Amino acid sequence: MAEPTRIDDCLSVRGGELYLEDCRATELIERFGSPLFAISESQLRLNARRYHEAFSRHWPDGPVDILPAFKANWTLATRRVLSDAGVGADVYSEGELRGVLESGVDPERVSVNGGGKSDGFLRRCLEAGVRITVEDLDEPRRIDSIARELGVVAKVRLRVKPNFPNLWRATDFAQEYASIDIGIQAYKGGIPAQYLVELGREVLTMKNVELTGLHLHLGRHHPSLWYWRGAMRRYAALIAHLCRSWGGYRPVEIDVGGGFATHRDPFDNVGLREDVLRTVVSYPFEQALRLLGENGRYRAMSSVIERFFAKMPTKERAPTIEEYGQATAGTLRSELHRQGVDTAEIRLQVEPGRGMYGDTAIHLTTVKKVKRQTQPIDLRWVLTDTTYFFFAGGQFEYDLHDFRVANKADQEATEVADIVGHSCAADRFLPFARVPKIVEGDVIALFDMGAYQESSASNFNALPRPASVLVRGTDADVIRRAETLDDVFRRDVVPNRLMRQARAAE
Ligand SMILES: Cc1ncc(COP(=O)(O)O)c(C=O)c1O
């Protein structure tokens, strides 16, 4: 067989076939069915190691903990891999807490986030001995009282929300109308800066609460290092201000949250702007074509689609994990020093979600039909057995994923087709994509499907959700089985009165 062509750490092309580690993608489909999420264990371990090394290199003063966001991929097997790699977790819900605790994580390395935590949930956090990241103003008082009942001292951090007037670029979450600064203000997360001084003073008097440090999570507003440097400058200034206001307080730990783009960042710049482009350029252009008459207009549209609408996922790369480590930990440390905060012994925590899991998985789907029309507009559809409802997370975030035809992985693109899912929605997950000639039975592999995709799958059209397999070398094991039709209807209850009516009508 010809020498493999490396695409990534764990993705390669061998003899025209796509491989994840040493597993041929099409063989995974033959063994486990289609569609399928396939996750690389080696990539996950490598990412965990790289995050730890990259941030430790620029934070020499104390330990560094990597707390990947469990919400990004809450399969228990991948969580076991991370626990084995000595990595902690950021969790958001009772379900997520249960998942990480069942998976051998060290509770000292778990941060429980989110607003509106119930007393029952806080009690479970205290019983488990995890960190509670405070979001609500009344939360510390409630934690103090439950901790007193349990006879424990709760370890809490305050999730802060500084002002970021320096982050003036457009946020990727709402490019058309908001800067990162305003985007952060509009997002519900974090305790507004106006309350922090007073709240911290109150917490520091509590007998059953230890304020271990501060937490910030802004999210992936922008992939650039500029964003991280700017964010860390204002975070450091706020930390210094709080330390002074709290009478020389020193945090034991500082958490910088997540939001680091995975290197082949699927965010589709143009996709988000498309609505605006359509309104400003494309729709008026199409209307102007009416002057050509019905046939002329359709002919003109056929010829512009390939030239102007065909698009491919970006080839631009986001910064590396090492660059993020330098920009984030390095800037935070130097700014804290500049503001007079001694960083000796302080523990740094980092919560990558997409950055940890994103490039670990591919989603495989089989082509069911290829459909073509030449009149009135020349169009081609490749109908697959998946749907974007199985990776809904990416739709919310304007993703356009890189892909290969797994069994034609070294073939040149020769035509343009809409790669679509089989729900009744438009389901254009690769609209007007440049592809090699595709036929029924071909397998398409979407890259970077490890974060927020499978975890957001829904059953629209009563479709059973696909399985996930974990790959290591030549081994592959099911880690989340595919749903059956019985699973799809399992939660449904038809009240007796409706059944009686139905029987009476028979
Ligand atoms: C508190 C917290 N930490 C970390 C993350 C992970 O973010 P990302 O996947 O963008 O790295 C999230 C995601 O929403 C979060 O809410």
> 3-class secondary structure for 255-279?
ECCCCCCCCCCCECHHHHHHHHHHH
72 Cβ below 6 A of ligand 1: yes
**CA angle, residues 276, 277, 280, in degrees to nearest 5:** 85
What pLDDT is recorded for position 105? 97
* Residue type for position 85: A
Does the pLDDT at position 275 exceed 70? Answer: no
Q: List, in order, residues 6 or more apart from 233 with CB less than 8 Å away.
A: 166, 331, 335
Atom of ligand 1 nearest to the CA of 219: 10
Q: What is the secondary structure of 449-504 as a DSSP string?
A: -TTTTGGG---GGGPPPPEEEEEETTEEEEEEPPPPHHHHHTT----HHHHHHHHH
Average pLDDT value for residue range 316-328 = 96
* 21 touches ligand 1 (CB under 6 Å): no
Cα–Cα distance for residue pair 432/312, rounded to 1 Å: 8
**Which atom of ligand 1 has the smallest separation from the CA of 215?**
1
pLDDT per residue over 65-75, tens digit each? Answer: 999 999 999 99
Pocket lining: 385 vs ligand 1, CB cutoff 6 Å: no
Q: What are the residues whose beta carbons fall under 8 Å from the beta carbon of 474, sequence distance 6 or more? A: 21, 22, 23
CB-ligand 1 contact for 358 (6 Å cutoff): no
Cα(188) to ligand 1 centroid in Å equals 13
CB 131 near ligand 1, within 6 Å:
no
By percentage, how much of the chain surpasses pLDDT 70? 97
Ligand 1 neighbourhood includes 88 CB (under 6 angstroms): no
Mean pLDDT of the 157-170 span: 95
Query: Percent of the chain at pLDDT above 90?
Result: 85
2 pLDDT above the threshold of 70: no
d(CA 261, ligand 1 centre) in Å: 11
Q: Which domains does the chain have, with CATH numbers?
A: 5-39+360-489 (2.40.37.10), 41-163+192-265+320-357 (3.20.20.10), 269-309 (no CATH)
CB distance 480 to ligand 1 below 6 Å: no
> Tell me: the pLDDT tens digits for 431-479?
999 999 999 999 999 999 999 999 999 999 999 999 999 999 999 999 9
As a three-state string, the secondary structure of 278-297 is: HHHHHHHHHHHHHHHHHHHH
For the beta carbon of residue 210, count every other beta carbon within 10 angstroms: 16
Per-residue pLDDT band for 309 (boundaries 50, 70, 90) equals: confident
Q: Count CA atoms within 13 Å of residue 297 on its CB side.
A: 12
Does ligand 1 have an atom closer than 6 angstroms to the CB of 69? yes
Q: How far is the CA of 351 from the centre of ligand 1 (A)?
A: 6
Q: What is the pLDDT of residues 354-393, one digit of tens each?
A: 999 999 999 999 999 999 999 999 999 999 999 999 999 8
Whole-number Å distance between alpha carbons of 333 and 342: 9
pLDDT at 276: 66
pLDDT tens by residue, 80-129: 999 999 999 999 999 999 999 999 999 999 999 999 999 999 999 999 99
Do 77 and 479 contact (CB within 8 A), yes or no? yes
Residue 240 CA to ligand 1 centre (angstroms)? 24
Average pLDDT over residues 264-282: 72
Look at residue 270 in the predicted model and tell me its pLDDT: 65
- Residue 323 φ/ψ, nearest 5 degrees: -65, -40
Question: Given this model, what pLDDT does residue 273 score?
Answer: 62
Report CA(70)–ligand 1 centroid distance (Å): 9
Task: Assess whether pLDDT exceeds 80 at residue 177.
Answer: no
For residues 148-166, give the mean pLDDT: 97
Give residue 443's pLDDT.
Answer: 98
67 CA distance to ligand 1 middle (Å):
10
219 C-alpha to center of ligand 1: Å?
A: 6
| Residue 505, pLDDT above cutoff 90 | no
Cβ–Cβ under 8 Å, residues 349 and 388: no
CA dihedral for 101, 103, 109, 111, sign (positive or negative): negative
pLDDT averaged over every residue in the chain: 94
200 in contact with ligand 1, CB cutoff 6 A: no
* Range in 54-63, 68-77, 171-180 the model is least confident about: 171-180
pLDDT reported for residue 423: 96
Output the pLDDT for position 1: 59
- By CB atoms closer than 10 A (0-12, 13-18, 19+), residue 436 is middle
Q: How far is the CA of 498 from the centre of ligand 1 (A)?
A: 44
Residue-level pLDDT at 506? 84
Ligand 1 centroid, distance to 396 Cα (angstroms): 15
